[in-house]
Copies of this chain bind each other. A is one copy, B any other.
Amino acid sequence: MSEIYEVIHRRRDVRGEFTGEPIAEEVLERILAAAHAAPSVGLTQPWDFILVRDDDTREAFRRHVYQQRREFADTLRGERADLFERIKVEGILESSLAVVVTYDPARGAPAVLGRHAIADAGLYSVCLAIQNLWLAATAEEYGVGWVSFYNEDYLAALLGIPAGIRPVAWLCLGPVSHLETAPDLERHGWRDRRPLAAAVHNERWGEQPAGAPADALPRAGH
């Protein structure tokens, strides 16, 4: 029981610590099988995994990410702009490979059990698979970095993803020199973590749990 908590709290979103060493095929299969074992609405398993190692593809994606980064930077002013300048947002070329995760809303459709009232439920399933992948990789002493500075249409075109199938994540994956003990954005002073107690409500929104003052619940992992 302790190992899973250790992995959950040790996991980081990696940008700068990838070594680029190759991943053994059997380890990659274990990690992908973990992702594929996630729960999914109506047992649709609406995810796919595109493994990207090709340098030209990665270089093209990296250029696109830097355009997107500049667009975001242009919305910032003063101290926030300076802070953002120093934050690395991707490890696309340094990681061993990318796992691009997609969502196919047509899988199992039209009568997807449990998606009747909530159209996004299939998208939620894909994210559960991503977290399984992330934890499995962390347990294997690898790092994962979710890059989200991109336009979905660009990535779909780059990888030949058919219309109707949505890219959900570009995950950099591979061996790392180490995992930082605090998230990059906290280390760089971009944003602090919120205490867990602030996120817990009792029976209704805004009600604090009985017998649990705001500082009684543990802080999040470190």
| Cross-chain contact of A134 among B39, B80, B203 (Cβ < 8 A) | B39
Q: A63 on the interface (CB 8 Å rule)?
A: no
A39 touches B11 (CB 8 A): yes
Q: A121 on the interface (CB 8 Å rule)?
A: yes
Whole-angstrom CA separation of A120 from B168 in the bound complex = 9
Give every chain B residue within 8 A of A202 (Cβ-Cβ): 50-51
Which residues from 88 to 116 on chain A have a C-beta closer than 8 Å to any C-beta of chain B?
Answer: 89, 102, 108, 110-111, 113-116
State whether A191 and B76 are in contact (beta carbons under 8 Å apart), knowing that A30-B5, A113-B87, A152-B118 are contacts in the complex.
Answer: no
- 1/0 contact trace for A181-209 toward B, CB 8 Å? 00101100011111010011111111001
Q: A18 on the interface (CB 8 Å rule)?
A: no
Give every chain B residue within 8 A of A19 (Cβ-Cβ): none
- Per assembly, the copies of the chain total 2
| A78 to B: closest C-beta gap in Å | 12
| A90 to B: closest C-beta gap in Å | 10
Whole-angstrom CA separation of A49 from B25 in the bound complex = 38
Q: A178 on the interface (CB 8 Å rule)?
A: no
A39 touches B113 (CB 8 A): no
Q: Besides the contacts A37-B221, A159-B203, what 11 more A-B pairs have beta carbons closer than 8 Å?
A: A9-B34, A30-B218, A33-B218, A33-B219, A36-B196, A37-B220, A44-B191, A48-B199, A50-B202, A114-B149, A135-B135
Name 22 A/B residue pairs within 8 A (Cβ), A-sorted. Answer: A1-B139, A5-B139, A11-B37, A32-B196, A32-B217, A33-B221, A42-B191, A43-B192, A45-B193, A54-B203, A68-B117, A72-B111, A72-B117, A75-B116, A89-B113, A113-B185, A117-B150, A117-B151, A127-B128, A128-B128, A128-B130, A160-B205
